[in-house]
A and B are shown apart, each in its own frame.
Chain A
Amino acid sequence: MTAQSVGLLALFLAVVVLCTKPLGLYMANVMEGRPIWPLRVGARFEALIYRLCGIDPAQEMGWKHYAIALLVFNTLGGLLVYGLQRLQFWLPLDPEHFTGVSPDSSFNTAVSFVTNTNWQGYTPETTMSYLTQMAGLAVQNFLSAASGIVVAVALIRGLARHSAKSIGNFWADITRSTLYVLLPIAFVLALVLVSQGVIQSFSAYKSVTMLQPVTYQQQKTDAAGNPVKDAAGNPVMESVTTRTQTLPMGPIASQEAIKELGTNGGGFLNANSAHPYENPTWLSNFLEMLAMIVIPASLTYTFGRTVGDTRQGWAVFGAMAILFVGLFALCNHSEQLGNPRIAALGVDQAASALQPGGNMEGKEARFGIASSALFNTLATVTSTGAVNAMNDSFMPLGGFVPLFNMMLGEVVFGGVGSGLYSILIFAMIGVFIAGLMIGRTPEYLGKKIEAFEMKMSSVAILVMPFIVLLGTAIAVSMAAGRAGAANPGAHGFSEILYGFTSASNNNGSAFAGLSADTVFYNTALGLCMWLGRYWPIIAVLAVAGSLAAKKRIPVTAGTMPTHGPTFIILLIGTILLVGALTFVPALALGPIVEHLILWGR
């Protein structure tokens, strides 16, 4: 670790801790509808929305009603995104005249954006119209994030309420979390990003005359646009010289803000947050990183506050933070060490006052090592999946970290809402295991954890490894799956494993060498994203409903406290044990063997 990376981490964590309490408190007030001033100001607008939609915000829902409402709302959102992509050619705001997107790619992208995954098989700047991006994709960036928040809030209510039949009103929850939490923060963040150079423009793409012409080879095409081939069937290349560079445009800042804040991660442009038009400076980078983590971190406080003991929230925060620091340190160290095969060519990879050094393949000069490692670690512990450097070109252990982050189930801060509800499920499994060890009935926050909760928790946790490993196994056994890998050997396997892990965890980042815009990958990964999102959500809502109905039992001398260091260690242990034991064999075939080949003798 260089002094710079330690300083950056310390400064970043300090800012996160400072934001956690105020934002967490604010969200607790918003979700309980307490009359704080933003709610009073927005009350009439909110009431108008309810009236137009025929919603009675005071009507409480049981968990099944809540789950059905969520599924229907998300499915309709998916259909809208699908339709916008297929029909964009006939719709306005398509200055580059992009045609409709293919059915399989549209399906994949629609699922990807409603499930908060933002896996992208397509190249945005040559595929998606401005309308598709802002009215389809960006809307789901908000609503999928809000969907995650409301499930977490429902689970918190399940823990906080007792002898209750209901867990809240889905429509009111989703409206409040969107209007009072996501929208105002995104608006301010978007404007700050523009000040740094992120573009926000509806004009057509711009052409500039470069300082020096560039000559390159490209495939020769005939008048009809088909590639010309020689007698042997090889494509004929021609030499082209140009001084023109075409710059993409679009309403990027407004989408960039919610992309990070909602832990979505879908880039307006192909290079995502590595693109200077999405992430131009260290300040934009710092704010994008903060936006990814600030809601998941603050929700731990919302949780503690709502269950009436903020220490409970800080204990969860502590477990997350400890895991996070370790994971970042490993990634940063591996990247700073650099690539021994490039060092052998006489290249200078040492950090100095004049250069970041390290493994710079796939990284931007303005981010160097520390900001790249921190950004990509954050994007994979949360479910953002944005990248400001290419994971595929990370060192073996540097790329292991984002992969492992997702395999832990994205509980280290995690997605907005999904991180908290997932780690609370781990907490219940943790107290259950501890209960077995000391022979007492497990309980969490005064609620007995019984057979139904444990069944649902197991369902919530096991579906992800199941579809990751099954999907990877199918892909590597099929020609259509193997064809996607771009790199030879173990790294090609890592690309496929990473793709299924990313989709099943609704992360969306990639070892981007994988050619995933094929019928096979669009379909397989689309199914993984859908199952990986809604299967756990239904199980979590079932737990919420069951807990809400229980009586609260008083704390006794035999109650295990769930706010101290013992509980934090127990929680970390449970997360690592489940994650590591499930995935070690698969990891050994990918990044671990690659590391041994690279550094072994």
Chain B
Amino acid sequence: MKRPPSNSILRPAVSLLILMTGILGVAYPLAVTGVARVLFPGQAAGSLIVRDGKPVGSRLIGQPFSDARYFWSRPSATRPQPYNGLASGGSNLGPLNPALTAAVEARIAALKAADPTNHAPIPVDLVTASGSGLDPDISLAAAYYQVGRIARTRHLTPGRVRALIAAHARTPWLGVLGEPRVNVLELNLALDKLR
């Protein structure tokens, strides 16, 4: 077979790469941004929650809670602080790693110390770190587990706290798509509004 002349490869390669960078690397993201800004401005900008004119968080990004008056989020393995928006990630601890068992034990102890009379088994998502370290949700089981503590510290009836969870609960669509969960930041903001 005749060898192809070298400029029959280099010229198309260089010019096609430049053109494609323009189309795929500049025009395409700008076009998506332009349309997204018109159709879904709130989502494109990060689904921020604004209270009294100030952003207090994003509906999609969790926050750490340790006050007994608030629903606690899932443990977060981000460093140096939990729920660090600039260092998303999980613990990456293997299932046999003693550090994992030790971390779970410490979380169980903290939950029990905040609510000594609660002897219900602890839902697993409340003592295991999420994959992103920014999980905005807890399972409904994890929310209901915390009802007694919240009701006591806020002088509310447990029924009222349960009703608040139920009002914010999301359940699987058709029983298959999605998981039973509740957004912790939204739940706590609603809790602060209760009188």
Contact = CB atoms under 8 A, between A and B. Distances in A.
Contacts of B12: 53-55, 69, 171
Contacts, number: 396
Contacts of B31: 187
Contact of B134 (A202, A271, A387, A494): A271
A338 B26 CA distance: 45
Interface stretch (A422-430, A482-490, A555-563, A577-585): A482-490
Given A76-B13, A139-B21, A200 B33 contact: yes
Interface in A189-237: 190-191, 194-203, 205-212, 214, 216-219
A365 B74 contact: yes
Interface residues of B, number: 111
A517 interface: no
Contacts of B46: 199, 201, 206, 247, 249, 277
A394 B95 contact: yes
A138 B29 contact: yes
B176 A11 contact: yes
Interface stretch (B64-72, B147-155, B156-164): B64-72
B81 A342 contact: no
Contacts of A77: 17
Interface stretch (A356-364, A410-418, A444-452, A522-530): A356-364
A449 B193 CA distance: 74
A206 B29 contact: no
B94 A392 contact: yes
B150 to A, nearest CB: 14
A367 B20 contact: no
Contacts of A491: 94-97
**Consensus secondary structure, chain A interface:** mixed
Contacts of B177: 8, 11, 282-283, 286
A73 B16 contact: yes
A347 B91 contact: no
A461 to B, nearest CB: 26
Contacts of A368: 179
Nearest to B174: A7
B87 A270 contact: yes
Nearest to B57: A208
B32 A345 contact: no
B194 interface: no
A33 B67 CA distance: 64
Interface string A471-490: 00000000000000011111
B131 A354 contact: no
B9 A178 contact: no
A433 interface: no
B173 to A, nearest CB: 7
A197 B26 CA distance: 22
A175 interface: yes
B18 to A, nearest CB: 9
Interface string A247-277: 1110101110000000000000111001111
A339 B181 CA distance: 21
Most buried by A among B20, B55, B128: B20
Contact of A194 (B1, B14, B39, B139): B39
B131 A389 contact: yes
Contact of A210 (B57, B123, B180, B181): B57
Given A346-B122, A355-B124, A361-B95, A54 B60 contact: no
B113 interface: no
Contacts of A371: 179
A341 interface: yes
Contact of A282 (B11, B21, B89, B173): B173
Interface stretch (A60-68, A155-163, A310-318, A500-508): A60-68
Interface string B28-44: 11011101110110011
- 3 smallest CB-CB distances across A and B, nearest first, come from A274-B131, A513-B92, A135-B25
Interface of B: 1, 4, 9-17, 19-21, 23-26, 28-29, 31-33, 35-37, 39-40, 43-48, 54-67, 70, 74, 80-98, 100-101, 104-105, 108, 121-125, 127-142, 144, 171-181, 185, 188-189, 192
30 contacts: A49-B19, A53-B12, A135-B21, A174-B16, A191-B32, A194-B39, A194-B40, A197-B47, A201-B44, A205-B85, A205-B86, A208-B55, A209-B54, A217-B80, A254-B32, A255-B29, A271-B88, A271-B133, A276-B136, A281-B178, A282-B179, A342-B100, A348-B141, A356-B139, A365-B179, A371-B179, A390-B90, A393-B95, A396-B96, A513-B94
